[in-house]
Structure 1
Amino acid sequence: MARRDSVSRNPADEASSLVARPRRRSTLKDVARLAGVSPMTVSNVVNGTLRGYNEETRDRVLEAIERANYRPDIAARSLRTDRRMAVGMLVVQTGRRFLADPYITSLLDGLCAGLNQRGYSLVLQGLHVDELATASLVQQLQTDGLCVLMSGNFMASTAFRATLKAMRQPIVMFQQPQPDPDGDICSLRQDDFDGGRVVCEHLVQRGARHVVAVVPELDWPAMSARVAGARHFIEASGARTRMTVLTSTDESAAATQGAVEGFMASHARFDAIFAGNDQMAIATHRLLTRRQLRIPEDVMVAGFNGLDFIDYFGTRLTTVRSPAFELGQLGAYHMVKRIETGAFDSRAITLPTELMIGTTT
């Protein structure tokens, strides 16, 4: 009788066999065999669990995942863990262009990056304020937690609060003036009040005697906080400076310029404009330049947010840097930690803003 020799396979042979059988989907056990580790270690690496392996082992597992073309079965994982590995994001306002504001897109960029690092996906929905009750993210259980950025004051929106809390999901609220003392909610915001205060202080120090603040009609708590901070500085410092608040129908260049032109038509004298955000500041700058006013000699102009797009503006704008991207990343961190541990580390966090002095003041 012929003797059957035992044949040992090396990892390269295992990878070849997996590639040679394209109809069979690679499993977690296949990856473990390729990497020479236990299936539990592979599971920990795939799920981002930082225990049971070192960096060298992690790199070996990741290489095996790539060689085996392994893709985790999210549906199966959800059945085992009761997690959907997804976080919802609601952008709620009265307008329809939910992603037109660079601040919102920067915050979403940070949120998405933070969730990706932790193995979670983002489900995004833009809503009109009257559509919340019928929103798919509210009607269908698609996510493990919900992030919300809304116009208006969340604490004053009784029906809105009740609808979200009835979902029984953890909630991260962005850019709300105060945290909700009840419910499973974490409030993350930037210090818009102080940002408004420091930019107004800068304008007054540069000699401003009449500051005109131009903001959109839509009630964003952050805009209100910026104006409140500017007004507080004037009142608290005793500066011989007055402040006028203009509202434009929206944040577009046409609406902003229309509001400023209407004010200029009244022949009011002013020497500084503090716009609610940078795009409104740039629109104002262009209008004043067209009117042959010198900036900053005749009128100083300051904006808010300091996002990357202002680098394309030919003039270095004085503005306040908003940590929008960092705020999104922080939201991802706290949401995932809440999902995985059952409790938020903190109920309210405020990030600082920073004055960036340009050539327009």
Structure 2
Amino acid sequence: MRTRLKDVAALAGVSVQTVSNVVNRRVAEMSPETRERVEEAMRKLNYYPNSQARGLRSQKTSTLAFLLLDPDPRYLADPMTDLIISGVGAVARERGYMLLVHAAQPDQLDHGLFMPIQQGRADGALLLLSGDPSLRRRYIDEMQKLTTNFVVFEDVNDDSVATVTANNRQGAYDMTRRFVDAGHTRIAFIGSGTAWPMIEQRFEGYKQALQDARIVFDPALTRFEGEWDAVTGGRLMSQLCTETDPPTALLAGNDLFAIGAIKALKERGMRVPDDFAVAGFDDFAFAEHTDPPLTTVRIPGFEMGHQAATLLIDRIEGKDPEINTGVLPVDIKIRGSA
């Protein structure tokens, strides 16, 4: 038999109304101890709210699910993820929605990522995915079986999927061509060991710029290792410096890698940008305060989140969105490192 509210109430030693308040997130005046006792009883009894019954009363939860695939346990500390979520949160607050963040590892298909939608705890979802492209596509296909109310932060070349991205490919192309115009022919690229769609686009832009400049792409000048932190960026830069024919310029996959690379170069007695040019990606808040100030490609993360949340809520509320696919422009910020 299906577990009922009164079963949870009996186990927790509270009223049915108290359980209902927890289920419906009316907990502002409830003590943390009571809430924890009710939630523990729900877990023990494997109780999940009857979304169909709740839907008869309200038709929606006024909640958005931000679903993320990221192997880093510090995924919420990532500056770009933070910017995107901030943009989503701004729209959610303006339009009376709550925001639920749920994450999984990108090593295999984890159906647990879909629980907020399966359990009726969210009206729609925003997907920020990493991992192998085929795995990312499987997540999108599975989401399509559950709802049409979702937006993906990736260009998937599928008109049936709502997407919001930035023009990462063009940004990388333009920055690489700037290196070429400055006389560099040995230009390196570094990224994390986890596949991210925006990094794939940046790498493609970098390679296309080399091709158009008739510079032969050299795999020895690329590294894809580790997670997004300055220490990894420094380590990869040190590896590149030991190549027989080392680079003279670096396009880092993000600003954290770039500042780590600059530190590693300085430790080798090299001057940036006189001996070696470095550019990053994203334009995080610290970029203009580094030594030297970091030349980088600004990615409008907040704006991406804002546009994606607007698009999603319009779909949830049955409005015809102005766009189904958004590609936001990027901007090169010329500073002192390149």
Q: TM-score, normalised by structure 1?
A: 0.72
| Alpha-carbon distance in 1 for matches of 2:127, 2:329 | 20
SS at match of 1:341: coil
Aligned partner of 1:168 among 144, 147, 152: 147
- Contact between 1:212 and 1:274, CA under 8 Å: does it hold in 2? yes
Query: For residue 259 of structure 1, what is the amino acid of its counterpart?
Result: L
- Contact between 1:179 and 1:347, CA under 8 Å: does it hold in 2? no
Identity %: 23
Alignment of 1:223-242 (within 5 A): 223-238=199-214
- Contact between 2:63 and 2:121, CA under 8 Å: does it hold in 1? yes
State the shift of 1:227 in Å: 1.4
1:58-91 deviations in Å (ceiling 9; x for gaps): xxxxxxxxxxxxxxxxxxx975540111111001
| Alpha-carbon distance in 1 for matches of 2:237, 2:163 | 34
- Contact between 1:92 and 1:128, CA under 8 Å: does it hold in 2? yes
- Contact between 1:189 and 1:349, CA under 8 Å: does it hold in 2? yes
Alignment of 1:193-272 (within 5 A): 193-238=169-214, 244-272=221-249
SS at match of 1:99: helix
State the shift of 1:127 in Å: 1.3
Alignment pair present for 1:188 and 2:160: no
State the shift of 1:167 in Å: 1.6
State the shift of 1:236 in Å: 1.5
Alignment pair present for 1:337 and 2:324: no
Change (3 A) 1:255 1:239: closer
State the shift of 1:231 in Å: 1.2
| Alpha-carbon distance in 2 for matches of 1:350, 1:359 | 28
Aligned partner of 1:6 in structure 2 is none
State the shift of 1:214 in Å: 0.9
Q: CA RMSD in A?
A: 2.4
Aligned partner of 2:125 in structure 1 is 146
Q: TM-score, normalised by structure 2?
A: 0.77
Change (3 A) 1:139 1:219: same
Mean alpha-carbon deviation: is it higher for 153-162 or for 319-328? 153-162
Query: For residue 103 of structure 2, what is the amino acid of its counterpart?
Result: G
Alignment of 1:282-301 (within 5 A): 282-301=259-278
| Alpha-carbon distance in 2 for matches of 1:221, 1:341 | 29
1:265-317 deviations in Å (ceiling 9; x for gaps): 23433210110000100000001011110111110000000121324424211
Aligned partner of 1:133 in structure 2 is 111
SS at match of 1:292: coil
- Contact between 2:130 and 2:136, CA under 8 Å: does it hold in 1? no
Unpaired runs of 5+ residues, structure 1, are 1-76
Which one has the largest radius of gyration?
Answer: 1
Unpaired runs of 5+ residues, structure 2, are 1-53
Aligned partner of 1:316 among 293, 298, 302: 293
| Alpha-carbon distance in 1 for matches of 2:178, 2:169 | 14
Query: For residue 140 of structure 1, what is the amino acid of its counterpart?
Result: Q
Query: For residue 188 of structure 1, what is the amino acid of its counterpart?
Result: V
Aligned partner of 1:307 among 246, 271, 284: 284
